[in-house]
Amino acid sequence: MPEQVKPPPVRPRVNDFVVKFANVNGSGSASANGMFARAIIRMGVPVAARNIFPSNIQGLPTWYEVRITEAGHLGRRGGVDLMVAMNPQTWDRDLAEIEAGGFLFYDSTKPMPPSRFRDDITVVGVPLTAMCNERYELPRERQLFKNIVYVGALAALLGIEVGAIQALISEDFAGRPRLIDANFEALKMGHDYVVQNLEPLRLQVRRADKVGDRIYVEGNAAAALGAVYGGATVCAWYPITPSTSLAEAFTGYCQDLRTDPETGQARYAIVQAEDEIASIGIVVGAGWNGARAFTATSGPGVSLMTEFIGLSYFAEIPAVIFDVQRGGPSTGMPTRTQQADLIASAYAGHGDTKHPMLLPADPGECFEMGALAFDLADRLQTTVFVMLDLDIGMNEWLTKPFEWDDARRLDRGKVMTHDELEAGADFGRYLDVDGDGIPYRTYPGVHPTKGAYFTRGTSRNPYARYSEEGGVYVDNMQRLLRKFETAKALMPAPVLHKAKRKTRDGAIYFGSSTGAMLEALEALEGQGRHLDALRVRGFPFADAVFQFIAAHDRVYVVEQNRDAQLRTLIVTEGEVDPGKLTPVLHYDGTPITARFIAGQIGSLMAVGSVIEAAE
């Protein structure tokens, strides 16, 4: 029997709600859920979708959260309006997560007693298993098509155009007409059931025109494409979630875009190395020899690479590391997101070292910074980090289309050529000729008698000859600091978001917190709380970051880690009074939400104004 415990209330909520799918890992739900989100985008309504998945191939619970947001809020809001509860294991907690007045969609093949529900939600049951068992013979078919059946049912319940889903099915299974037909049928089965037996929900999707020319893509794929455009030819990597798909995407893009059309040969070399130490060693070797090279990894990999990263700093060898950050150590939360490798990356190495970092906020910036990183690494002759996280890297995001200016040239930095050497240029590998701390280098094999040098970590003079003299060492370290100063101006500038009213409160944030942050600022403004906000995009920090702090009385630093790592970097590098910077920290492994930020800053500001009033 179809059941609908409560009748839908009258006024629907249009294009502004959160649907969460609770599934079992390995049940084939991912592609059906993805189609659900993409169909809504095809209707011109922005979505923000996030996978929350276990470190497991099959059997553990997994969630997919789709925020439908005509207003274009791409961060997480917090809370769930419709729970698609397909996993009995997590029933209780899934049920508990639904907002009061929200909806529960479940497989009603075995009807549940009312005691298993909540009074303040609407329950929608569709006998998915029964329908699939009746229609399909094979267990695998029953399982897979069940996912499409519920997508069909949800489409009818939420007003999603069936044509949009059909178009996606036809594109995804192009050339396989039998699969297309079968999926169409399953879709119709779910849709028809709802049309015949149930009412549409109070949550509705309506065609709009709010997506524009944006694309929908994962940050890892975008960064990989950035590496292709940035001229990377050597990639060495070791599999680790959540960075693996970056190296895999690079492989795919290279096959398409970097295969010599005449010979069919590769204009790239990709090595799956034996570990992260070898990965970075290969990158450093290739960089030393004049190729653009990178590795993709996560926190545990960065720790293993540390010695080499230090070497690249002292020996001044270009390298690019995409660090797709995740939670905790190896056995911690590998499939959860965090921004917790900032300090480990910024100062990786032994001895005095520091490294430029780029902090992309979405896949669009992953592409841009993915390409830029190679110019910076060559220009600065050092390791450059691109700090993604699982949220950006492994989720598809609506983002501005990728752009490339065909007039753009790769900046290979200061490389002395054969002709310059031949003409008698004075070559000192570690000589600061231009006063910017950046010396000239030569590629091995460049000239029969000139330009060769012996590369070591330190213990050498400006002409790369062995020296253990203290003064020589100090001079070199000072030059490296000058170089880091030069780096400042090359980093992408921070982005200022000015409050509508003049305010002495500020907030600093970066990376994947951006969507939630901007939404939180709106919410706070609605409460009469005004903050200027600055999005940091690179390390070393631009002077504008310190000017921003100086111009405000209190600055909230929003980040996704326990120890306020960005704040520590700001305090250390800018000699900022720590008391001025109030940490706002989210680190449970799920992406930060707008509600969390607004709640935290809201209450901190309330306390602040009470103190002010008292003073």
Partner 1 sequence: MTYITKPQLHHPGLARNALGFTRRDYEGSVSTLCAGCGHDSISAAIIQAVYELELPPHRIAKLSGIGCSSKTPDYFLGASHGFNTVHGRMPSVLTGANLANKDLIYLGVSGDGDSASIGLGQFAHAMRRGVNMLYIVENNGVYGLTKGQFSATSDKGSKSKRGVVNHDAGIDLVGMALQLGATFVGRSFSGDKEQLTPLIKAGLMHKGAAFIDCISPCVQFNNHDGSTKSFDYVREHNEAVNRLDVISPRAPIRVDYAPGETVKVAQHDGTVLSLHKLAELYNPNNRAQALGYLQARQARGQVVTGLLYVDPEAGDLHDALDTVATPLNELNEAELTPGAAALAKINAGLR
Q: Which 8-state DSSP code applies to residue 192?
A: H
Residue carrying structure tokens 């040098």: 453
Tokens of 477: 């370290």
State which of positions 107-136 bind partner 1 (CB under 8 A). Answer: none
- Spatial neighbors of 389 by CB under 8 A, at least 6 apart, are 242, 324, 325, 326, 337, 338, 339, 511, 512, 560
State which of positions 214-253 bind partner 1 (CB under 8 A). Answer: 214-217, 225, 228-229, 231, 233-234, 236
DSSP string, 286-330: HHHTT--EEEEE-HHHHHHHHHHHHHHHHHT--EEEEEEE-BSST
Rounded to whole angstroms, what are the CA distances from 40 to 48, 105, 239? 11, 18, 33
Least distance from partner 1 to the Cβ atom of residue 132, Å: 32
Least distance from partner 1 to the Cβ atom of residue 457, Å: 8
Of these, 180, 271, 425, 523, which contacts partner 1 (CB under 8 A)? 271
Least distance from partner 1 to the Cβ atom of residue 316, Å: 12
Tokens of 176: 């396989």
Rounded to whole angstroms, what are the CA distances from 288 to 308, 380, 445? 13, 13, 12
Least distance from partner 1 to the Cβ atom of residue 430, Å: 13
Residue carrying structure tokens 């056995």: 331
Tokens of 114: 């009312």
Does the footprint of partner 1 cover residue 473 (CB under 8 A)? no
Does the footprint of partner 1 cover residue 71 (CB under 8 A)? no
State which of positions 296-335 bind partner 1 (CB under 8 A). Answer: 307-308, 311, 315
Of these, 117, 136, 173, 443, which contacts partner 1 (CB under 8 A)? 443
Does the footprint of partner 1 cover residue 260 (CB under 8 A)? yes
Least distance from partner 1 to the Cβ atom of residue 206, Å: 20
Name the 3-class secondary structure at 566: helix
**Cα–Cα nearest to 357, from 388, 402, 390:** 388
Name the residue nearer to partner 1 (CB basis): 403 or 612: 403
Least distance from partner 1 to the Cβ atom of residue 507, Å: 32
If binding means CB under 8 A, how many residues of this protein chain bind partner 1?
76
State which of positions 388-427 bind partner 1 (CB under 8 A). Answer: 401-406, 409-410
Torsion 6-7-10-15 (CA) sign: positive
Of these, 89, 289, 603, 609, which contacts partner 1 (CB under 8 A)? 289
Name the residue nearer to partner 1 (CB basis): 91 or 453: 453
Name the residue nearer to partner 1 (CB basis): 294 or 539: 294
- Spatial neighbors of 319 by CB under 8 A, at least 6 apart, are 280, 283, 284, 287, 293, 294, 295, 309, 312, 377, 382, 383, 384
Name the residue nearer to partner 1 (CB basis): 131 or 371: 371
Instruction: Give the binding range for partner 1 (CB under 8 A) out of 290-298, 329-337, 573-581, 589-597.
Output: 290-298
Name the residue nearer to partner 1 (CB basis): 275 or 434: 275
Does the footprint of partner 1 cover residue 288 (CB under 8 A)? yes
Pairing of strands 215-218, 396-399: antiparallel
Residue carrying structure tokens 């996606």: 168
Least distance from partner 1 to the Cβ atom of residue 525, Å: 32
Instruction: Give the binding range for partner 1 (CB under 8 A) out of 199-207, 237-245, 449-457, 527-535.
Output: 449-457
Does the footprint of partner 1 cover residue 163 (CB under 8 A)? no
